[in-house]
Structure 1
Amino acid sequence: MSYILKTNNLTKVFHGKEVISQVNMHVKKGEIYGFIGPNGAGKTTTMKMMTNLIKPTSGEIEIFGEKLTNTSYKILKRIGTMIEYPIFYEKLTAVENLEIHCEYLGYHDKTAIKRALDLVGLKNITNKPVKNLSLGMKQRLGIARAIMTKPELLILDEPINGLDPTGIKELRDLFKMLCKEYGITLLVSSHILGEIEQIVDTIGVINNGKLIEEISLENINGQHTEFIEVTVDDCKKAAFILENKLHISNFKVINNSIIRVYDSSAAQTEIIKAFILNDISIESINKTTSTLEDYFLKLINGGGIHV
């Protein structure tokens, strides 16, 4: 297996507290790797260590087959990054900012700036200072800066923050194109699981500083199961009816109004009939398939409460 990025027992301690604990990640060359986890789980800290912005307390990072060190300048030149909120010279234009970036990287392709801006959908902003750009436009500019030098590995921390649905779709298509047509490997963190699910090949789930799962999306999809989701006015009573009248035990109470029935032998008509006969009001009932979000919630906290 060819891994473009690996970590070995990567650990970071801040003020005596271990915030990243022995993380072992494996990012394959030519894939899109989705790095997901709750806020504060350790995604950004891990990415900062991968880009030498902060140093690990212990453990190793290997990129392009070489150990990352304080002097890994050649390795870092082959990586495009956007960690947290992108910072620019606010009084300069987008083009001027990108020219400075090219200059200190020693990258002299004169067509690179326009090409990068076109790819992220930033046009007609040549004379605008960055301070006049919207949050979404600054986010796009940060991605343009990251891809401008044609990196082999792209590390993007929450790249679709601040974008509207149209912008999110455009960047989703861009990421897939960069991977497929340019051969760029992407490591992307996001809390928008529905978007991650549409582009990634592999996911890594981090929680409380520990990598608790690393799995291909194909394997997750193979585990997806159909279930019946019912929205009712009294979940406790509905759960009682399912268990004691219909003898269904494989269900979960998601919140105060939603129950998911995973028993494949359960029929919607029987559930509806039993609920109506017992004065339980049904707002909706649908048969659906579990998603990456369901899988994620199950890993993090069980995805619901069984009563």
Structure 2
Amino acid sequence: MKQRLGIAVSLINNPELLILDEPINGLDPLGVKEIRILLKKLCEERHITVLISSHNLPELYQVATDYIIIHDGEIKQTLTLGELENKCQRHILIECEKPEDLLVILENDLGTTNYKLMPDKTIKLYDYVDDKKKVATTIFENGIITTNFSVEGDTLENYFISVIGGEKND
């Protein structure tokens, strides 16, 4: 009730900016859902900007549209939800000398268009992440030599840890 009361009191003067520190801390699952719905309504219907400080990354992922990662009082990174999803989405990163030929192989032999050709000519393949052997075999059988073949992307928690400087900060 304290969390809900605190939010209600802060809304009395109809603010343009609402700053919340760990707004779901100590709430049961139903309370968490209610606060999530409330925050979304405040943004959409009342056009209030809500700044949330929290360590609950999965919950932030469900409500936030923009992120600022801060560590030891220093802004380490700012990114949108789309950028965060792109960085965390698991994929096979493939680098080779003939990326255009590889795209044809992905489409014709593996039957997928779920990839992205990056500006540096690497390819992010979002399918077959759990069947790397099939991808590697298909590439090899078609005479393409890869110079990089790795699974990339991570959980929100691991991504956050990498941004703030890795495991040494535990």
SS in 2 for 1:218: helix
Where does the alignment leave 5 or more consecutive residues of structure 1 unmatched? 1-136, 229-262, 269-288
Please tell me the residue identity of whatever aligns with 2:6. Answer: G
Q: Which residue of 2 aligns with 1:224?
A: 88
CA contact (8 A) 1:227 1:290 kept: no
1:266 Cα deviation from its structure 2 partner = 2.5
Q: In 2, Cα distance between the equivalents of 1:225 and 1:303?
A: 21
Q: Which residue of 1 aligns with 2:142?
A: none
Please tell me the residue identity of whatever aligns with 1:201. Answer: T
Q: Of Structure 1 and Structure 2, which has the larger fraction of its residues in helix?
A: 2
- Tell me, yes or no, if structure 1 residue 146 matches structure 2 residue 3: no
Q: In 2, Cα distance between the equivalents of 1:209 and 1:178?
A: 28
- Tell me, yes or no, if structure 1 residue 193 matches structure 2 residue 43: no
Q: Which residue of 2 aligns with 1:213?
A: 77
Q: In 1, Cα distance between the equivalents of 2:70 and 2:11?
A: 26
Q: Percent identity?
A: 46
The TM-score, its normalising length taken from structure 2, stands at 0.60
Please tell me the residue identity of whatever aligns with 1:222. Answer: N
CA contact (8 A) 1:204 1:213 kept: yes
The TM-score, its normalising length taken from structure 1, stands at 0.34
Q: Which residue of 2 aligns with 1:266?
A: 132
Where does the alignment leave 5 or more consecutive residues of structure 2 unmatched? 93-127, 135-152
Instruction: Report the aligned-residue RMSD.
Output: 3.0
Please tell me the residue identity of whatever aligns with 2:36. Answer: R
Q: In 2, Cα distance between the equivalents of 1:201 and 1:225?
A: 17
SS in 2 for 1:148: coil
CA contact (8 A) 1:294 1:303 kept: no
Q: In 2, Cα distance between the equivalents of 1:200 and 1:292?
A: 13
1:158 Cα deviation from its structure 2 partner = 1.1
Q: Which residue of 1 aligns with 2:162?
A: 298
For residues 1-307 of structure 1, the aligned pairs below 5 Å read 137-226=1-90, 264=129, 266-267=132-133, 290-302=154-166
Q: Which has the larger radius of gyration?
A: 1
Segments of 4+ moved more than 6 angstroms: none
Q: Deviation per CA, 1:141-183, whole angstroms, max 9, x where unpaired?
A: 1111011222111011111111111101110110001000110
